[in-house]
Amino acid sequence: MAETDNLKLYKADPVADSDKTFNIDTMLNGNWDKIDSKAAEWDGKETPEGAQAKANEALAAAKEYANDKVADAGQVKSVNNKTGDVVLTAADVGAETPTGAQEKASQAEANAKNASLPRSGGTVSGNLAVTNILTVQGRDVLSEIDSAKQAGVDAKQQIVDAINAMGGSASTNDSWATLSAKIKQVGMKWAKGTATVTDFSGFDVTGLTFQPNLIILKVIGNYSSRRCLAVYSQEINLNWYHARDGTTSYFVENVYTPTQNGFKFDIGTNIYKFEFEWFAAG
């Protein structure tokens, strides 16, 4: 059955329904029921006129409430302990005075100048922390300082190694002044002295600051007319004693025994009471 668009009332539509009759009992009465139902719904809704009236009433009540609160607030009786008809200053309401504002601005400017250097240069009196690479005229300052420091460390190690290689005793813990003194001590060390032997004996030399690698000995005193010579050389492997008295000649090998701080000289039964002068180097 065909219906209207809004209220959905029944209507006769021969084209859609192929029916030219209109049933009063069902269709007409059904339409009355639909109209009556919609009318009941409209009775429960607010009309535009009623809604406007309620809005006007609410606005008037709000204005009345606000006026009452303003009236109850009263007038300001004092500001910063001042009453009556007075002229308020910036200080009365907690604001900055022009003079005070200028003083603070001047101080801020001075602080900014003190915290920076002009382009023409200046002096930094406090500590300066640089977290990135410090470059001066295109040169990495810290890297060059580190390189110079390492070069000094390497040079010190080389000097220590050279002193030790030449028989000295040095360490990188030594100061430069100590190393300088030890360098002066490096080189050929030598000593000389005299010794007297009795029949069939030799002698010991101690207290030297080195181990000899060259020793020369000759007879002196009352027996200097006897031609005697004793030589020790570690470099060319010499170690002998030779003496000649007239037609008598003595030659003895391995007469020297070097020690850490001196040497021993002994030729056994082929020696008499002689006085010797000796020279040792190392």
What average pLDDT does range 12-24 have in this prediction?
68
Question: Residues 236, 204: one domain?
Answer: yes
- C-alpha span between 33 and 118 (Å, rounded): 97
Asked if residue 22 is part of any domain, the answer here is yes
At 219 the pLDDT is 85
- Give the model's pLDDT for residue 173: 94
Best-predicted range by mean pLDDT (49-53, 61-65, 159-163): 159-163
pLDDT in tens, 28-44: 777 787 887 777 776 65
Whether 51 maps to a domain, the answer reads no
Whether pTM exceeds 0.75: no
Same domain, 182 and 210: no
User: Does residue 220 contact residue 275 with C-beta atoms inside 8 Å?
Assistant: yes
Is 258 in the same domain as 180?
Answer: no
Q: Give me the pLDDT at residue 19, please.
A: 62
Domain that holds residue 170: 141-187
Q: Is residue 36 part of a domain?
A: yes
Q: Are residues 253 and 202 part of one domain? A: yes
Residue 276 exposed, middle or buried by CB count within 10 Å (0-12, 13-18, 19+): buried
259 and 220 housed in the same domain:
yes
146 vs 144: CA distance, rounded Å: 5
Write the pLDDT tens digit of every residue in 214-233: 999 988 876 656 678 899 99
| Res 184: pLDDT | 79
Q: Evaluate whether 229 touches 242 at the Cβ level (below 8 Å).
A: yes
* Residue 192 shares a structural domain with residue 276: yes
Which range of 67-71, 115-119, 250-254, 276-280 scores highest in mean pLDDT? It is 276-280
- At residue 272, the pLDDT reads 63
Residues 6+ apart with CB under 8 A from 164: 170
In terms of domains, do 201 and 155 share one?
A: no
Answer yes or no: do 219 and 277 share one domain.
yes
Instruction: Please report whether residue 167 resides in a domain.
Output: yes
The model's confidence at residue 158, banded by pLDDT at 50, 70 and 90, is very high
Which letter, b or e, does each residue of 235-259 get, where b requires 16 or more Cβ atoms within 10 Å of its Cβ? eeeebebebeeeeeeeebeebbebe
Which CATH number fits the domain that encloses residue 237? 2.60.40
pLDDT value at 167 more than 80? no
Backbone dihedral region for residue 108 (phi beyond 0: left; psi -120 to 50: alpha; all else: beta) = alpha
Using the predicted structure, report yes or no on whether residue 174 has a pLDDT greater than 90. Answer: yes
**Mean pLDDT within 125-147:** 85
Residue 78 covered by a domain: no
Residue 257 belongs to a domain? yes
* Residue listed under structure tokens 């922390």: 129
Confidence (pLDDT) at 22: 66
User: What are the pLDDT digits (tens) for 81-130?
Assistant: 777 676 767 666 666 777 878 888 888 887 777 667 677 777 877 787 88
Q: Note whether 197 and 271 are same-domain residues.
A: yes
Domain match, 170 and 196 both: no
First-to-last alpha carbon distance for the chain, in angstroms, is 140
Q: Using the 3D structure, point to which of 132, 161, 187 is the last residue of a domain.
A: 187
Of the segments 20-34, 178-192, 237-251, 253-267, which one has the largest average pLDDT value? 253-267
Whether 120 is covered by a domain: the verdict is no
* Same-domain check for residues 171 and 198: no
Tens digits of per-residue pLDDT, 60-78? 887 887 777 767 666 666 6
pLDDT at 46 over 80: no
In degrees and rounded to multiples of 5, residue 39 shows phi and psi of: -65, -40
Whether residues 237 and 162 fall in one domain: no
Q: Residue by residue, what is the 3-state secondary structure of the chain?
A: CEECCCCCCEECCHHHHCCCCCCHHHHHHHHHHHHHHHHHHHHCCCCHHHHHHHHHHHHHHHHHHHHHHHHHHCCCCEECCEECCCCCCCCCCCCCCHHHHHHHHHHHHHHHHHCCCCCCCCCCCCCCCCCCCCEECCEEHHHHHHHHHHHHHHHHHHHHHHHHHCCCCCCCCCCHHHHHHHHHHCCCCEEEEEEEECCCCCEEECCCCCCCCEEEEEEEHHHCCCEEEEEEECCCCEEEEEEEECCEEEEEECCEEEECCEEEECCHHHCCCEEEEEEEEC
Of 106-115, 137-146, 233-242, least confident by mean pLDDT is 106-115
State how many domains the chain has.
Answer: 3
Tell me whether residue 60 is in a domain. Answer: no
What mean pLDDT is predicted for residues 201-214? Answer: 91
Exposure of 141 in the CB half-sphere (CA atoms within 13 A): 7
Whether the predicted pLDDT of 79 surpasses 80: no
